[in-house]
Structure 1
Amino acid sequence: MRAPRAALLRVVVIDSELVPDERAVMPGRGAWVHPTPECIGTALTRRAFVRALRVPGPLDTQTFEKWLSSYGNQVNGSK
């Protein structure tokens, strides 16, 4: 599904760790994804980030998943 850049989240890899680039200014190769649990879950399951970011091994997604859960709470108005 296509979407305008403003509706997508850029992610990058720093030391084998997947991190969100909310301002889209971090250096290096980035991948764009809808910031929804469904799209990100699908991308993780299909190893799409590994392919798009051209990293040789598995990524540490723990920090990214924590960010995603807090992002969802901010969007939904929860604390």
Structure 2
Amino acid sequence: MTERQGAPAYDGPVRTCLGCRRRDEVDHLLRVVAAGTTVVVDPRRRAPGRGAYVHPDAACVALAVKKRAFGRMLRAPVEAPAAGAVLTAYLAEAGPGAPLGRAVGSG
């Protein structure tokens, strides 16, 4: 496959952020899955069900809430404000530099 000129080269799996819509490696994104009408943060990326990804940044979370992207991407009746509250609380508790998931190649 040919790389597009100017496109960043990625070493691992690539996903799109729900908020900013930028593509990035999964190691730089936080995975969430639907749980009823809200979301559950899945830092180990092992929870069953359809997952969606968001940068661990308050601005990206706020954009995803504003766009109501969680329900669309997870294909579930997720309430955007509740999902935003869960992610905001997780980010505040985890703090900056917290691990976002398992390292590439670990089991």
* TM-score under structure 1 length normalisation: 0.80
Larger Rg: 2
Kindly provide the amino acid, as one letter, of the partner of residue 42 in structure 1: L
Unaligned runs of 5+ in 1: none
Structure 2, unaligned runs of 5 or more: 1-21, 98-107
CA offsets 1:22-72 (integer angstroms, 9 cap, x no match): 01000000101111101011001100111000113525323333112223x
Determine helix, strand or coil for the equivalent of 1:24: coil
Matched pairs, number: 74
Taking the aligned partners of 2:47 and 2:53, their CA distance within structure 1 comes to: 13
The answer to whether the Cα contact below 8 Å between 2:39 and 2:78 also exists between their aligned partners in 1 is no
Deviation >6 Å, runs of 4+? none
Q: Structure 1 residues 14 and 57, CA, compared in 2 at 3 Å: closer, same or farther?
A: closer
1:36 is matched with which residue?
Answer: 57
